[in-house]
Structure 1
Amino acid sequence: MSPSLAQSRRHSEIHGLDRLFEKAIKSGLFPGAVLTVATGGEIVYEAAWGGVTHVPWSAMVSPCTVYDLASLTKPLAVALSVMALVEREKLHIDDTLRAFFSEVPLDKIQISIRHLLGHTSGLPAYRPFYKELIHLAPDFRLLEMKKLVLAEPLVSPPGTQAEYSDLGFMLLGWIIESLTGKGLADAAQELVFEPLNVKGLYFPLTSTPAIGQISPGPPLTKGEREDLKNRCCNGLVVPTEVCPFRKRVVCGEVHDLNAWVVGGVSGHAGLFGTAGSVAKLLLRLLDIYKGGSSVPNFPKGLLQEFWRIQDSDIGSTWVLGFDTPSPAGSSAGSSFSPRSIGHLGFTGTSFWMDLEHEILIVLLANRTFPKADRESQAEMRRFRPLLHDLARVIW
């Protein structure tokens, strides 16, 4: 194929991306979205479509727009913090809950860090703890949340079944805080974002003490509140929902209600950022994984161990803190190799990175705006593989 013909074909395929996103926006799947693609360790494509809300006068999104990353908190902040603590010999991957909590129910004494990271702890996916905690004074909610999570009955014995679990990552967040003496936001900054030299990933609360102390930390200063308000109004931070529980538009604060009720920072949700910042962090890790560089806290061998399937005998697709493509019906589509890692976020966020072919696709959208309904969740399940398959044709 001649260079000019190949270029023409690529332009046509990229127009196909435009049509895919424009159709999704027109159908109401999400108001806007940002896509970042990297190949060979370099970002090769950044694009944005739509606005921060569906109304015509909304600010338009751009590659610099900040999104609530939702469950991308789990791999990017929590799993990587655990990896750093393993490297620092502060914990071992097979340590059990009894090493970190004074009172562990009998059914949970065998749950290990490995189980929590790989979603094989037996803990359930989700429980609406916020409905109970909202009736408590804010200073007492964190301690009560810990009691509720540890008391929650298991759905299966540890290590016998893969069950994606918010609760398991809540526990990991508390373990990180206990070992560092810092709130999760500050611990992730020190353990992960600073060593990897990644800016643009943050928790809206700028500082929090370790969970177990009874305050979520000092409120934002007046200047920080004004800055956050301006960023939301100017379209620099997208809203995630007209929340019926909070009775307001949620913008610049965590969408997840279990995270919100304890101050906005939790092991399962709370991280915000841009598509570019997510991509840069993952590309830095990919470079280490491939042996191209070395960074404190993240040795190549430990990355390889974390990104290895742990429980293939029980049919799990999970590695430690990250997912891999399922054999059929994966959100990664049909063109990512089995040696790929990724994760999804409830608000409409995701990333998939093929370790073999060195391609990364980061998608950020606010499909939960104006409401987080099952219809848009199901439609997002159909959209993601279409996007990834089309992107793999182009790149």
Structure 2
Amino acid sequence: MRVDIPKRYFEMFKYFNSQNVYGRVADFPVHSFWGWVYYDWDPATRLGYQGAGFLWFGIKQPLMDREFDRWNLLNEQYYREMSYAVYSRDSELLTDVLDKYKIRWLLLDESVMIPAADSKQLFYPEIKKLFTETQKIVLNRDFGQGLAVYEYTPVQSISRVETFDTFYPVGDVVYKEPYDTVYSYYNPYISGGEESFPYVGLTNTDETIKEEYIQERGDFTFIDPKFITGDAILSGKDESGEKSVRVPLTATFERLPGDTGLVFSVNHISSGEELVRTVFDGIKSGSAVAMSINNDPRGLFLNSFEYGKKEVSFYYNIGAPNNLDIYTLKQGDVSVAGSIGELEPCSDLYGQSSYEVERLEDGFTLTGSGLKACLTLPVASVLEGDAESGVSHPY
């Protein structure tokens, strides 16, 4: 079936053709592992192109598109790193990915859709906010109807061929990891050295742990990498603050009986020695609790009836502050006096669909025709915001 490509794309092709500096183009959103793209170019019918893509037929610069990383774990590493940086809303991590892969332009196309799925997964508002908050990223050209190109100015100039005065030989391979810990710490590096990082390279291609790192001790099984030794979590590294790096760890939260509070702890991987232990009191029984470490999106929630231990994965900052945020849920009903949430469709739109919300004195009425309508309420509106209940603890 023939589909006419909107004129705004050809205007964008002309723009890229006029650019003479070197750099790669990263396209957004980065929501799909499979690399099959659906475009919504007609609001009434939601019809448009669908397929592997077409942008590379008009953009002369190298394009970081899923079409070119198929069927190879190593090639897919860029997607893993970029999608993690975006969905964790981490501007520093985004900058690392842009620098590592020599990306100069960021192409955002809000006409990309995901059939039969929640459109919030596309992350459009969050992506634009992330670009705005990231230094050295500016909106370069807006072609209309959600098609825009941002430009990133790297600290170090980039070119097709580069030379480095210094680089680091590292013995680890980071493919399969959500981000490149080694690059974040060292910047340019090459494989083949002897230096190792904790947790990098522990797994096989099927995500099972390599046998040489598994150690049986009686009734217990430990992951015991040869390079995790000594008292420090990251042995032999500089913790002066001049360099910072993140390593993945698992923390344990234990809710104590009654009103005795919460216990936060982190143990040494191989020895089981307790490295960090903090007790938070003042959290009453019967309160639901939400917590996050270093703003990691993988948080933890305890309902008002849950006791005992729960584990949560997070990234520990070496040479930089670490923060633990604990919240209790507000008591009573959520007020509808102010903003009642964001009105949006929560099913696909077909044909002439419509939806609306009407505010009432004691609530609201939600109606929809040809779709399901939803109100999305920010989680912050149901969390305590005062200093006694919403607490940030550096450790």
Larger relative contact order (CA 8 Å, sep ≥ 6): 1
Q: Compare the two structures and name the one with the higher strand fraction.
A: 2
TM more than 0.5:
no
TM-score normalized by the length of structure 1: 0.22
